[in-house]
Chains A and B, each alone.
Chain A
Amino acid sequence: MLVHLQGPWSPWFGRLTLGDIPYTNPVIIFAFLFTVVAGIALAVPVLYYRKLGYIFREWLCSVDHKKIGVMYIILGLVMMFRGFIDGMMIRTQQVTADGPHSPGFLSAQHGYLPPAHFDQIYSSHGTLMIIFAVGPILTGLGNIIVPLQIGARDMAFPRMNAISLWLSVSGAMLIMASLFIGDFSTAGWVGLIPLTELPYSPSVGVDYWMWALQISSIGTTLNAINIITTIIAMRAPGMRWDRLPIFTWTTLSTNIIGLTAFPILGVALALLGADRYLGTHFFTGGQGGNLMLYTDLFWIWGHPEVYFLVLPAFGIISEIIPTFSEKPLFGYTTMVAATFAIAGVAWAVWLHHFFTMGAGPWVNTFFSVATMLVGIPTGVKVFNWILTMYRGRITYTTPMLWSVSAILMLLIGGLTGIMLANPAINYTVHNSVFVIAHFHCMVLLIAFAIFAAIIYWFPKVFGFRLDEHSSKRFFIFFVLGTVTVFTAMFALGFMGETRRLDYLYDPQWLPLLIVEEIGIVFYCISVGYFFRMLYVSIRDRGRNQCGADPWGTARTLEFLTHSPVPFYNFAVTPHVNALDELAWRRANGHADTPPDHYEPVHMPNSSMIPVIIGVLSFGFGFGMVWRIWWMAGFSLLAIIALIILGSFMPDPGYTISPEEMREMEAQHRAPGIMADSHPPHPAAEERLV
């Protein structure tokens, strides 16, 4: 059954030999040095301040939804940074490799990247950005905010929550490993078939891509189960469905997609894996395989996936605009209905990614009309946001600036999407960079919302505000970069530039490529301001401390408890009286009314199992990639054994007594408390498992 591979194989190391480490490639050496330096820069302070134990116990083993959320976001930001560097390299290659007379550097004939290397870079760019940057950041935000917004103490399954995180991390680590050991897929983030089949991609690149996606998507599915159950079963008393904050609604709808769409990706990848490992013929050219079946399965997931990403972004915008317009959201009910309409229709449009397959006029018409229908609920949302701002008392804080620009991006992205949804137009621009520009408007709108959310909720989690001065500059340069790059890209799409070119044959494209490169310069400046924002804010954190509601006009429950949020979230479960509970309390003079006494609170213990499962799943992935069977088999068995073992050791949790709670609450109400100044509860058992 096992496919016989060309090349060396040994029982201990599988396909791995020393020659697989690309130590001769200058670009990769540079990346390696960069990673090592960054790693040392992180490790030294940790070791110097003897924080290793603290990080292990309080973070890696944590089952606290807020810490898990923060780790998701850190993972996402790091991956986004790497994805950004990939993007920069792609742009720079294209601008230097335009026209037959373009120069070649390093070992490339044109530009500075040889084709195989360039292909790996755009493949990892897409995979990282969509799966490992934007996805985890949004998941992290949902993790942090949703339980707070519904007045819960934690997720429904705290330990499984940690497992989800560590599965995502281990997927991301597989992609990082591919940078230095072996190579990465050259077949795009979508896994262009039949290029991903063994005869055309005999190296481990596709396997890295496949297993990284597979492992992290299991994490996503588990997280979806957790969030949906949490929202259904853990709401505070009085949190009726018609009072559910809009971000929670969008997170719910998005996770319904997560729950149902990701298994189909799993099937697509598993069948591809069967072709590559077992020699089956699902997607091969000959022997009765069907290439388009892969494309079909991939996009059954792929289209819902893009809505999986955009819906929480809509939720974020819907939270921020009312806060800074000092008005309730216009059309709450229609907003919820529109959210679910979008999620529902997202399931019947996937063929618009391959109209050119030629399934015939009826099929194409059906999917074209269905795709255009998405425009209706999306339009409803845009109008609701605008009407929320209308006659509001608007303050242009940075979250608000990001949100308003996100609406504009949505407009451009949405309208070009509708153009693409017309098969007649699609046949001419499909596979051109026009498509790239379309979906970058969309994913950048998500990025805008993410930055808005990070700045909006950062003070909630850490207790101090981010520096407005540099964050505004970060915003301005990021938007400038976006507009510059993608306006030019739309035009290049019309001029016939196709996607994924390492060498561009038409010298007439050069001026616009240079414009795009200028946009990249703006992006680089904005990244500089991002780091400056972090630096200045942390440096001045004492000055920027904030109370429960850092903005003064927030409307939802998460701003009722202290900033930073204590590990037990709410000392006493709030009773919800209205939609926008905090705004209601403020209006009725209850915003600062504390509970008059405390009751015992039960909390879960930390656990080592999730992070170990993460490490083992990396081992499994790595073993499969290199066909080191003992490693893959051992890791898999160990995971199963751990889960069974864990089921024999139920977590008794621990209890916070009313007296302890009173003490901790009194501390919180005193000014000047920083994030790490409330150590874990003394009664928390030191036991980890």
Chain B
Amino acid sequence: MSAPKSTAGGAVQLWEYQPKPHDPVSTKTLGFWLYMLSDALIFAGLFAAYGVLDQPMNAAGGPTAMQVVHPVAAFWQTLAVLTSVLAYSLATVALKAGSRAGVALGILAAMALGLVFLGLELNDFVTLFAMGATPERSGFLSVFFVLIASHGLHMAFGLLWMLVMLVQIMRFGFTTEVVTRLLSLRLFWQFQASVWVCVYVFVYLKGIVP
């Protein structure tokens, strides 16, 4: 293992005068990806809690999943978030071509659909609250609301970030920093869709399985 490694000329190389530059884009997106993984474990914790508290006992006489989820209505939310992700992804296709207008348009569409998603979610919450199904009602409802609201909070942050990126694209153009952020934001936004797939299947669909 300690055999000396020689350079082509046979002499030992001790110093690297012009090291290959570190890839600034990939270093940052990797860092951001690691953040996403740790964020994913937040959802692991929340889903574990959901798995534990999704028992008849934990409804404490209040409504169970069967009574609070409406998978058909929530399918619209599914469509909104997925289409939003598609729009953002297509914005990165425009990025490849260097089209500012294309990127901005894609992001605007993604934002609009994201807002639709949040609007639908809020509406759902308001209806449930009006029926007396509040987080304080039972352990089950606590985890139901907190799980979904955590995802919603992430969505809201994504929207804020998109707003900032719109400004930065206009102001700086496609600099290394801006492009790196656009790529990271794509990871973030895509991640919200993946979490939503889990929420939709394990909360909404599973909720109406008797």
Contacts and interface: CB of A to CB of B under 8 A. Distances in A.
Interface of A: 1, 156-157, 221, 224-226, 228-229, 232-234, 236-238, 242-243, 259-264, 266-268, 271, 274-275, 278-282, 284, 286-290, 293, 296-297, 300, 328, 332, 572-575, 577-580, 583-585, 587-588, 590, 593, 595, 597, 599, 644, 647-648, 650
Contacts of A286: 60
A641 B34 CA distance: 23
B139 A234 contact: no
Contacts of B23: 233
Interface string B99-134: 000000000000000000000000000000000001
B38 interface: yes
Given A288-B58, A585-B14, A597-B17, 16 more contacts: A229-B34, A267-B46, A275-B142, A280-B145, A281-B139, A281-B142, A282-B146, A287-B137, A293-B52, A300-B45, A574-B14, A575-B15, A575-B16, A580-B2, A595-B17, A648-B171
A290 B53 contact: yes
Interface string B46-77: 10110011000111101000000000000000
13 contacts: A225-B38, A233-B26, A274-B135, A278-B136, A282-B139, A288-B140, A297-B48, A577-B4, A577-B5, A587-B2, A595-B14, A644-B164, A647-B181
Nearest to A572: B15
B168 A648 contact: yes
B22 interface: yes
Given A293-B49, A577-B4, A267 B22 contact: no
Contacts of A587: 2
A1 B145 CA distance: 12
Given A226-B31, A229-B31, A280-B135, A297 B49 contact: yes
A644 B58 CA distance: 41
B17 A599 contact: yes
B127 to A, nearest CB: 17
A262 B41 CA distance: 9
B19 interface: yes
B67 to A, nearest CB: 14
Residue of B1, B46, B137, B164 ringed by the most chain A CB atoms within 10 A: B1
A574 B181 CA distance: 32
A260 B37 contact: yes
Contacts of B138: 281, 287-288
Contacts of A226: 31
Contact of B15 (A300, A579, A595): A595
Contact of A574 (B15, B37, B48, B59): B15
Interface in B166-192: 168, 171, 177, 181
A264 B44 contact: yes
B35 interface: yes
Residue of A266, A290, A587, A599 ringed by the most chain B CB atoms within 10 A: A290
Contacts of A599: 17-18
Contacts of B20: 237
Contacts of A229: 27, 30-31, 34
B194 interface: no
Contacts, number: 179
Nearest to B57: A288
A656 B12 CA distance: 27
Given A229-B27, A293-B52, A577-B4, A266 B42 contact: yes
A650 B177 contact: yes
Nearest to B49: A293
Please report whether the interface of chain B is mostly helix, strand, loop or mixed according to DSSP: helix
Nearest to A580: B2
A590 B2 CA distance: 14
A280 B49 contact: no
Nearest to B135: A280
Contacts of A237: 16, 19-20
B70 to A, nearest CB: 22
B105 to A, nearest CB: 22
Contacts of A572: 15-17
Contacts of A279: 135-136
B162 interface: no
Contact of A577 (B13, B34, B37): B13
B38 A573 contact: no
Contacts of A290: 52-53, 58, 139
B87 interface: no
A236 B16 contact: yes
A424 B168 CA distance: 62
Nearest to B32: A225
Contacts of A267: 42, 45-46, 49
A263 B15 contact: no
A243 B31 CA distance: 23
A238 B42 CA distance: 37
Contact of A288 (B2, B37, B139): B139
Contact of A242 (B1, B45, B59, B171): B1
A288 B139 CA distance: 4
B42 A263 contact: yes
Contacts of B31: 156-157, 225-226, 229
Nearest to B45: A267
Residue of B35, B38, B143 ringed by the most chain A CB atoms within 10 A: B38
A584 B46 CA distance: 50
A504 B49 CA distance: 38
A487 to B, nearest CB: 39
A263 B38 contact: yes
B41 A264 contact: yes
A650 B13 CA distance: 35
Nearest to B2: A578
A440 B2 CA distance: 39
Given A229-B30, A259-B38, A288-B53, A264 B139 contact: no
B46 A1 contact: no
A278 B45 contact: no
A531 to B, nearest CB: 39
Given A228-B34, A577-B12, A281 B146 contact: no
Contacts of A156: 27, 31
B53 A282 contact: yes
B129 to A, nearest CB: 10
B15 A274 contact: no
Nearest to A258: B38
Contact of B38 (A262, A282, A588): A262
A578 B57 contact: no
Nearest to A286: B60
Contacts of A573: 15-17, 19
A590 B12 contact: yes
Residue of B14, B18, B37, B177 ringed by the most chain A CB atoms within 10 A: B14
